[in-house]
Amino acid sequence: MAYSYVKYSVDDDKIAIVTINRPDAMNAFNSDVVGELQDCFDGIRENDSVRAVIVTGAGEKAFVAGADIKEMTDLNSVEAREFALRGQKLTNSIQYLGKPVVAAVNGYALGGGCELALACHIRYASANAIFGQPEVGLGIIPGWGGTQRLARLVGPSRATELIISGNRIDAAAAKNIGLVNDIFGQDELLDETKSFLKTVLKQGPRAVQLSLEAINRGMDVPLAEGLSLEADLFGVAFSTQDSREGTQAFIQKRKPDFSGE
Ligand code: CAA
C-alpha cells in the first residue's frame, strides 16, 4: 500500500504501524488523508498477516491537529454532513476492526485528531501530547464522534466541559480523566505501545477478538442486553480450538500454542 499521506508498515510481530504523514500541516485531515486512511484500514481488516495496529502521527509535534480547516471553510451544509459521515465511517472502521488498535498520541490531538484517538481501543500518550475539541472556537461542533465517544469514555460532565470550552488539556490531565491509559517519553512511546501489544498477541486470538466485540457492542446497549451478549460470546469462545488449547495447556502445565481457530 503506497500512499502520499499515510505511512504503513508491518513488523515481524504482525503489528501494523499506521502513521499519518502530513507534518507541514500538523498532520491535519484533508480529503486525501481521510481516503488513504480508510483504504488502509479496509486493507488491514482483510489482511490476516496483521494482528494489531498502532496509529500515530509523523514528527514530534502532532498526532493529528484535526480536520483541515482551510479545506473545510467552504463546505456547504450538505457537504459538511457528508464530511462528518466520511469521518464517522473511518472511525467506525477502526473501532469495529476486530483487531486491537492503539493510538500512540505523540503531540497535538485536536478536533478530528482527538476523535481518531477516541475510536482506537486504547490511547497511550507522549508527555508533550495535547488533547482538545476546539471546534466551538471555529463556530462548529465535533463531527467525527467527539460528542458521543468522549462522553462515553470520560463521562458527560468532563466531555461537556472540554467540548463547550474548547479547552486543551495536557497528557497528565488526559490521564487523570481516563482519556489516556499511560504516558511515556516521546522516544519510548512506540516501543512501549508495541510491548503492550506483544502481550496481547500472546493471548488466544479469537478470545481477544470476542472480548473487543463484547466491549464495543456492549457499550451501546443497556446492561442487561450487554450481559446477554457477553453470555452468547462466552458460548462462542467455547466453540473455538483456541479455548481447548488454552485450557488443556493450563492443565498440562505448558504454554498454549494458539492457532486462532
Ligand atoms: N487545518 C489546516 N491546517 C492546519 C491545521 C488544521 N487543522 N492545524 C495546523 N495547520 C497548519 C497551519 O495552518 C500551519 O500552516 P502554515 O505553515 O501554512 O501557516 C501549520 O499547520 C503549522 O501550524 P501552526 O503554525 O499553527 O503551529 P503552532 O505550533 O503555532 O500551533 C496548533 C499548532 C495548536 C495545532 C495549531 O495549528 C492549531 O490550533 N490548529 C488547529 C486545531 C483545530 O482547531 N482543530 C480542529 C479542526 S475542526 C475538526 O477537526 C472538526 C471535526 O470534528 C472533524
CA R_g for the chain:
19
Contact status, residue 54 vs residue 197, Cβ threshold 8 Å: yes
pLDDT at 106 over 70: yes
How close is the Cα of 45 to the center of ligand 1, in Å?
30
| pLDDT for 1 | 64
Where do the CATH 3.90.226.10 domains begin and end in the chain? 6-200
pLDDT in tens, 202-218: 999 999 999 999 999 99
pLDDT beyond 70 at 131: yes
Distance CA 171, CA 14 (A): 28
Backbone angles phi, psi at 132, to 5 degrees: 175, 160
Output the ligand 1 site: residues, CB below 6 A.
Answer: 25-26, 28, 65-70, 87, 108, 110-112, 115, 134-135, 138, 142-144, 146
pLDDT tens digits along 219-248: 999 999 999 999 999 999 999 999 999 999
Give ranges for CATH 1.10.12.10 in the chain.
Answer: 205-251
In the CATH scheme, what is the code of domain 6-200? Answer: 3.90.226.10
pTM (2 decimals)?
A: 0.97
Pick the CATH number of 205-251 from 1.10.12.10, 3.30.40.10, 1.20.58.110, 2.40.110.10: 1.10.12.10
The 10s digit of each residue's pLDDT in 75-103 is: 999 999 999 999 999 999 999 999 999 99
255 pLDDT more than 70: yes
Question: 10 Å Cβ neighbour count for 218?
Answer: 17
Q: What is the pLDDT of residue 2?
A: 82
Handedness of CA 181, 186, 187, 190 (dihedral sign): positive
Ligand 1 site-directed mutation target among 26, 27, 63, 108, most atoms within 8 Å of CB: 26
